[in-house]
């Protein structure tokens, strides 16, 4: 499938956008006219630069407010169009997007629309230009693809076809299935955009909130399936108006965009199954999908490994060994492995720097991640060390693929020959439950797509958590069975004096146990510093739930937090924050499947209180 992207998706100058698209690996670009108008590059330079970069110039857009007007305005519009056809000739371009009239149309008459577009087509033909007519969702008279298709049929010119944009169809709740009935050769261009499910006017939604496929709530695999069945064999492009993308790093956004099309093709191919072969649009497969089996490890980078070691010991972790070659320690408890790494740690008190996920076939998983443009992490390994396939996520977390069997291999690099599984002690750590990762504001959507595609996780609906620093947007990505769960938190820009960067918003590793009360008591005796929960919280708890007084006293004594859902109960505590991280220990009773969301504001406020002396 040939891929393209509209220059309006990206930040920077036209030249910077073109360089970034080529570097990411797009086949071509759409020239959004305003990007050219404000550029010092001549059309000839743009053409030559595209040629040098190997980019095709696929669509010149938008041409607006043409049809449905009085004759005098039409003549002016034809003159305006001809100037643009001349410009396209200098660019070496042959496809123009015509949007259905939004502003100037005064006559609602399909035959007139067709007649006027036919006149445009005749001028266009003289310049070898084809016209792709698109129904905008807020078009004055033409606002559905079915209607624009009726008009294209009435126009009946070889050089007039359709542009299909997923946003204009799905935002209205229109059924895209009839796209499959349009002859593919009359669809001249396809633009895909996803969007979060929002209830607002469509124009604002479209202009600010579009995201790349896979980052929103539209079923774009089914949508692309309908296009495949139409016999469409052209370019599939991205046209994303997004306030964040427009101000983010242009190269990262371009990679994010292409990743979305690679991922979408694979999902669409999977949806179509063997039928896909019957159609001309080639969907590249993405073999080697891995079902995550659990966390392999969490990695903490610290310049003070003794500090982390002390906390781990308080939580009941055992030191398994020092790496044979590197200043890296391995700590274990139950199935939870924590790597304490003091490399590249200058100035880093402690931070969650990486995580490993067990998959059936790490080699295949790595190949697939590479296909998804994941940026590899370079790690040296000697001949007798296990090779770890790692990638850098958009939030800078290092993500590694391992296997269940492989774990025993790399454990030996720590000189640790694991004993036969210890007698399971009640109230010990049993494993890693989830890892909570802070997201810089400009990386959130990209991270959602990265983790869902590369690690094959599902995005759950997001929530917002009030904190003294503002609302924290939070989204959980997880496997269906919950063996791997990530919580992504986008951090408010915050009190400027208090928060310099997202690194001051702590991340954490949540560990599960089968008896958090016993574990908390042991940790308390071992001198563990808990995050202090305010007394008011326990009074509110008593008002909300009927909890017997003795249980409430225990919760309060141990700084435990509590939640309940329709399945069961949830008890958890937080350690004090060290540097940029802390630990959570939790117990899920009777199938409670959440994360104690009602307690998150308590945690954030307590951490904010804890830092107050740093703030003032």
Cis peptide before 180 (omega within 30 of 0): no
Q: Do residues 237 and 27 lie in contact, with contact meaning Cβ atoms separated by under 8 Å?
A: no
Of 2 and 208, nearer to its own copies (C-beta) is: 208
Q: In the complex, which residues of this chain contact its own copies (CB under 8 A)?
A: 8, 11-13, 16, 33-34, 36-43, 79-80, 83-84, 87, 198-201, 204, 208, 243, 246-250, 441-442, 466, 468-471, 492-497, 532, 534-537, 539-540, 542-544, 601-602, 604-606, 608-609, 612
HEC profile of 361-410: CHHHHHHHHHHCCCEECCCCCCCCCCCCEEEECCCCCEEEEECHHHHHHH
Minimal distance, residue 363 CB to its own copies, in Å: 36
Shortest distance, position 608 Cβ to its own copies, whole Å:
7
Query: Closest separation between CB of residue 211 and its own copies, Å?
Result: 16
Q: Of 427 and 492, which has the nearer Cβ to its own copies?
A: 492
Residue number, 248 or 475, with CB nearest to its own copies: 248
- Provide the minimum distance between the beta carbon of 173 and its own copies in the complex, in angstroms, as a whole number: 15
- Report, in Å, the least distance between residue 602 CB and its own copies: 5
CB of 24 to its own copies, least distance (A): 17
C-beta of 584: minimal distance to its own copies in Å?
17
- Minimum distance of its own copies from residue 88's CB (angstroms): 12
Q: Toward its own copies, which CB reaches closer, 359 or 531? A: 531
- Collapsed DSSP state (helix, strand, coil) of residue 324: coil
Rounded CA gap, 574 and 297, in Å? Answer: 20
In the complex, minimum distance from the CB of residue 592 to its own copies, in angstroms, rounded to a whole number:
20
Closest to its own copies by CB, 138 or 319: 138
- Closest CB to its own copies among residues 273, 613: 613
CB neighbours (10 Å) of residue 426? 9
C-beta neighbour count of 75 within 10 angstroms: 12
Nearest residue (CB) to its own copies, 29 versus 359: 29
Of 420 and 535, which CB lies nearer to its own copies in the complex structure? 535
Shortest CB 119 distance to its own copies, Å: 17
Residue 180 or 542 having the CB closest to its own copies: 542
Tokens of 412: 């030996």
Q: Output 36 or 313, the one with its CB closest to its own copies.
A: 36
Q: What are phi and psi of 450, to 5 degrees?
A: -60, -55
- Report the residue number, 176 or 494, with the smaller CB distance to its own copies: 494
- Which three-class secondary structure state does DSSP give residue 102? coil
Query: Alpha helices, DSSP H only, in 31-103?
Result: 33-37, 43-53, 71-91
CB atoms within 10 A of CB 158: 10
Alpha carbon 280 to its chain's center: 30
Query: What is the C-alpha separation between 442 and 103, in angstroms, rounded?
Result: 34
Q: How many other C-beta atoms lie within 10 A of the C-beta of residue 536?
A: 9
Give the strand order in the sheet containing 375-376: 318-322, 328-333, 336-341, 294-301, 351-358, 398-402, 389-392, 375-376
Asked if 177 and 226 touch (Cβ cutoff 8 Å), the reply is: yes
Contacts of 347 (CB under 8 A, 6+ apart): 303
Residue 486, H or E segment: strand 485-490
Which CB sits closer to its own copies, 231 or 601? 601
Q: From the CB of 461, what's the least distance to its own copies, in Å?
A: 14
Short-list 330, 326, 307, CA closest to 318: 330
Pick the closer one to its own copies by CB: 66 or 401: 66
Helix/strand/coil (H, E, C) string of 445-474?
A: HHHHHHHHHHCCCEECCCEEEEECCEEEEE
DSSP secondary structure letters along 127-158:
TT-EEEEE--TT-SS--SHHHHHHHHHHH--T
Q: How far is the CB of 465 from its own copies (least distance, A)?
A: 11
Measured between alpha carbons, how far is 443 from 255 in angstroms, rounded to an integer? 12
* Pairwise CA distance, residues 242 & 212, whole Å: 9
Cβ at position 586, least distance to its own copies in Å: 19
């Amino acid at each position: 499938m040939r891929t393209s992207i509209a220059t309006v998706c990206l930040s920077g100058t036209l030249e910077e956008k073109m360089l970034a698209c080529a570097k990411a690996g797009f086949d071509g670009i759409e020239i959004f006219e305003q990007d050219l108008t404000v550029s010092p590059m001549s059309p000839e330079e743009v053409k030559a630069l595209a040629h040098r970069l190997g980019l095709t110039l696929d669509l010149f857009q938008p041409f607006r407010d043409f049809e449905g007007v009085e004759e005098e305005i039409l003549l002016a519009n034809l003159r305006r169009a001809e100037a643009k056809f001349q410009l396209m000739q200098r660019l070496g371009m042959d496809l123009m997007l015509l949007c259905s009239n939004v502003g100037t149309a005064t006559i609602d008459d399909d035959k007139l629309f067709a007649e006027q577009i036919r006149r445009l087509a005749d001028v266009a033909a003289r310049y070898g230009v084809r016209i792709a007519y698109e129904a905008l969702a807020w078009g004055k008279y033409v606002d559905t693809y079915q209607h624009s298709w009726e008009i294209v049929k009435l126009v009946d010119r070889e050089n007039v076809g359709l542009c299909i944009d997923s946003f204009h169809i799905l935002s209205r709740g229109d059924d895209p299935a009839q796209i499959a009935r349009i002859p593919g050769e009359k669809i001249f261009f396809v633009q895909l955009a996803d969007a979060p499910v929002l209830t607002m006017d469509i124009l604002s939604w479209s202009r600010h909130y579009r995201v790349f496929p896979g980052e929103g709530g539209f079923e774009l695999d089914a949508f692309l399936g309908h296009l495949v069945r139409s016999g469409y064999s052209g370019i599939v492009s991205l046209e994303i108006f997004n306030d964040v993308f427009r101000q983010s790093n242009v190269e990262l956004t371009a990679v994010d965009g292409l990743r979305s099309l690679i991922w979408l093709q694979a999902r669409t191919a999977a949806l179509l199954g063997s039928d896909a072969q019957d159609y001309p649009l080639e969907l590249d497969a993405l073999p080697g999908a891995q079902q995550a089996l659990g966390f392999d490890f969490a990695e903490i980078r610290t310049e003070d490994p003794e500090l982390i070691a002390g906390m781990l010991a308080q939580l009941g972790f055992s030191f398994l060994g020092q790496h044979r070659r590197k200043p890296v320690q391995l700590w274990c408890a139950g199935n939870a492995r924590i790597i304490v790494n003091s490399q590249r740690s200058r100035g880093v008190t402690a931070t969650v720097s990486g995580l490993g996920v067990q998959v059936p076939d790490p080699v295949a998983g790595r190949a697939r991640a590479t296909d998804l443009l994941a940026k590899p992490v370079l790690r040296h390994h000697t001949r007798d060390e296990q090779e770890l396939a790692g990638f850098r996520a958009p939030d800078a977390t290092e993500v590694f693929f391992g296997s269940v069997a492989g774990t025993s291999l790399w454990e030996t690099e720590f000189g640790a020959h694991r004993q036969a599984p210890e007698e399971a002690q009640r109230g010990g750590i049993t494993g890693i439950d989830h890892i909570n990762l802070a997201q810089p504001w400009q990386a959130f959507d990209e991270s959602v797509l990265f983790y869902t595609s590369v690690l094959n996780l599902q995005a759950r609906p997001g929530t917002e958590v009030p904190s003294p620093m503002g609302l924290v947007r939070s989204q959980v990505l997880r496997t269906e069975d919950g063996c791997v769960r990530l919580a992504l938190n986008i951090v408010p820009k915050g009190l400027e004096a208090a928060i310099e960067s997202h690194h001051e918003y702590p991340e954490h590793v949540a560990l599960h146990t089968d008896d958090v009360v016993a574990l908390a008591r042991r940790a308390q005796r071992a001198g563990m510093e808990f995050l202090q929960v305010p007394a008011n919280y326990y009074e509110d708890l008593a008002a909300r739930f009927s909890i017997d007084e003795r249980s409430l006293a225990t919760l309060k004594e141990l700084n435990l937090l509590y939640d309940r859902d329709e399945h069961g109960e949830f008890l958890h505590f937080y350690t004090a924050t060290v540097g940029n991280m802390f630990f959570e220990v939790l117990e899920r009773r009777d199938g409670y499947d959440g994360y104690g969301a009602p307690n998150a504001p308590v945690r954030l406020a307590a951490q904010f209180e804890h830092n107050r002396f740093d703030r003032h």
